[in-house]
């Protein structure tokens, strides 16, 4: 079974530039999550989708971050404009349902903002 | 106060040692508890769920104490391959999972 796919794996941009990350969840998984993991910290949930609807985006900095999940499958996360403090690993995860189910993580995108 | 708190370590132990990690959580209504393992520069992976009665998987034992709102993970007969960061995960309001900052384990020969 194919796992969660993410691209790109690495990205270096200058502050104030824009960047987009892509995620393809495990086939059939209704729930998709985007997490931000800063070095030395645990993953922090940015946004959670159930099919193509947003379940929780309370920790998403909406002035600069946006995310969408068209057709309830793939998802993109965008940052515009980027700040130095956005340097982190952005992890996508999927699960068959809500929190009682195991979450399967992709390899992440390591973003460096200079 | 953070929703999920862990001792960051690192815990440096010799092979064959027994090591225990604790994790405390603030939401008394939490129902789901997990331990995830994260290797260096890799994604987190589920190690085990934590059940009210406690559960064991080989060398790993997880315990839940609802009254004191803490979870523990015990690793017996530590192997070099157990070296990783162990993340305590608890469901929060609205079925959101909250991750602790992780406890670093280093097993040395």
**Digit-coded pLDDT (tens) for B22-32:** 999 999 988 88
CA distance B76 to chain A (A): 24
CB B50 within 8 A of CB B88: no
CB B33 within 8 A of CB B55: no
Q: Do A42 and B42 touch (CB under 8 A)?
A: no
CA distance A61 to chain B (A): 17
User: Which residues of chain B neighbour A44 with C-beta distances below 8 Å?
Assistant: 99
Confidence (pLDDT) at A100: 67
Q: B2 falls in which pLDDT band (50, 70, 90)? A: confident
Percent of chain A at pLDDT exceeding 90 = 87
Q: Do B32 and A100 touch (CB under 8 A)?
A: yes
Separation of alpha carbons A60 and A5, rounded Å: 22
User: Which residues of chain B neighbour A99 with C-beta distances below 8 Å?
Assistant: 32, 91, 95-97
A108 in contact with B at a CB cutoff of 8 Å?
yes
3-state secondary structure of A71: helix
pLDDT in tens, B65-94: 999 999 999 999 999 999 999 999 998 776
Confidence (pLDDT) at A69: 95
Tally C-beta pairs within 8 A across A and B.
46
Residue in B49, B87, B96 nearest the CB of A42: B87
- Residue A28: count of CB within 10 angstroms of its CB: 9
């Amino acid at each position: 079974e194919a796992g969660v796919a993410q691209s790109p794996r690495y990205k270096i941009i200058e502050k104030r530039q824009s960047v987009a990350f892509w995620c393809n969840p495990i086939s059939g998984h209704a729930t998709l999550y985007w997490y931000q993991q800063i070095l030395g910290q645990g993953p922090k949930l940015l946004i959670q989708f159930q099919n193509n609807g947003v379940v929780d985006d309370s920790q998403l900095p909406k002035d600069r971050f946006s995310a969408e999940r068209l057709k309830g499958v793939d998802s993109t996360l965008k940052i515009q404009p980027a700040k130095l403090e956005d340097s982190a690993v952005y992890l996508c995860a999927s699960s068959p349902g809500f929190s009682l189910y195991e979450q399967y993580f992709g390899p992440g995108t390591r973003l460096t903002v200079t | 106060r953070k929703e999920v708190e862990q001792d960051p370590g690192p815990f440096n132990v010799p092979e064959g040692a027994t090591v225990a990690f604790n994790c405390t959580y603030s939401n008394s209504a939490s129902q789901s508890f997990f331990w995830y393992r994260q290797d260096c520069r890799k994604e987190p992976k589920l190690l085990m769920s934590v059940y009210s009665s406690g559960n064991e998987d080989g060398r790993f034992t997880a315990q839940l104490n609802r009254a004191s709102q803490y979870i523990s993970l015990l690793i017996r007969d530590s192997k070099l391959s157990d070296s990783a960061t162990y993340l305590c995960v608890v469901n929060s309001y609205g079925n959101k999972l909250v991750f602790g900052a992780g406890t670093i384990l280093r097993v040395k020969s």
